[in-house]
Amino acid sequence: MEDEEKAVESLMSNTEAANSPSPIRCCWVRLRYLAATSIICGCSCLGVMALVFAVKVRNAILWEQAYKAGRFQEAVHWGSRARRLILASFAVWLSVLVLGPLLLWLLSYAIAQAE
């Protein structure tokens, strides 16, 4: 009886592991869209690098032997790097948008105090 229960538990854990989502947090299409958006709405040089890594993720996932050749781990690495570059692109652009007016205000304040 215990052997049957252990077999059922191991079978359930194997099917849960097989049906679990991939380590890549978002699909490669969404990653490419975010990279393209970061080119337009963010720091473009970081966005271009993010798009390059997003395309590498797509190529690694679409190959039929991705799991056998170990390319899936590379896809996970490239996906995480693309996400970091996308976030960095948006962060740089937002900091420029915030710091630009702030520095202009500080400059006008310094000129007003000098007069």
Averaged pLDDT score across all residues of the chain: 76
Instruction: Report the amino acid identity of residue 92.
Output: V
User: pLDDT, tens digit, for every residue of 31-55?
Assistant: 888 888 888 888 888 888 888 888 8
Return the structure tokens found at 86.
């996308």
For 68-82, letters b (16+ CB in 10 Å) and e give: eeebbeebbebbebb
> Is the predicted pLDDT of residue 20 greater than 50, yes or no?
no
User: Which of 10-19, 63-72, 96-105 is the least confident region?
Assistant: 10-19
User: Which burial class, exposed, middle or buried, applies to 32 when counting CB atoms under 10 A from its CB (0-12, 13-18, 19+)?
Assistant: middle
